[in-house]
Amino acid sequence: MPKISIIVSSEKLDKLFPAVTLATTAAVMGWESEIFFTFWGLLALKKDYEAKDVSSDYKVYEDGLRRAVNSGAMPSWLEILEQGKKTGRLKVYACSTTMSFLGVKAEDLLEYVDEIVGAASFLGKAKDSDINLFIS
């Protein structure tokens, strides 16, 4: 079975959408799929965090993206992630080191997180992937 591994290091919507879309699409196609949220990307996994901004390079598109999501024309990044999780082939990992330096506890994380792992553990999982992506 093919496998994709994605590292997400940004909490910005223009980074989250592509990461979860690719991971979910792969899972729907029957691939093993995994996403490792680290550094600022980990913030998106916090229960009380609302990802709402885009990177400065794409500010001109921010209002259009918000309108599309708010009107239901497109699902939110979390709804896309949930679709992938329903396949049973998408795993979500939170970076333990990032959690430590940001003061995030396991109970602060969304229910979509499968496991809290360090970089070495994730790289051990990702080493046999057919596709590896870093989205920052």
Domains along the chain? 3-135 (3.40.1260.10)
Mean pLDDT, each 10-residue run in order, the chain (136 residues): 96 94 98 98 94 80 78 90 97 98 97 97 96 94
Q: Does residue 3 contact residue 128 with C-beta atoms inside 8 Å?
A: yes
Percent of the chain at pLDDT > 70 equals: 100
Q: What is the per-residue pLDDT for 55?
A: 78
The tokens for 71 are 């009107």
Going by C-alpha positions, the residue among 117, 85, 112, 104 that lies closest to residue 43 is 104
Q: What is the per-residue pLDDT for 29?
A: 97
- Which 8-state DSSP code applies to residue 135? E
Q: Does residue 23 contact residue 84 with C-beta atoms inside 8 Å?
A: yes
How much is the pTM? 0.93
Quick one: 44 exposed, middle or buried, by C-beta within 10 A (0-12, 13-18, 19+)?
Answer: buried
Task: Supply φ then ψ for residue 115, to 5 degrees.
Answer: -160, 150
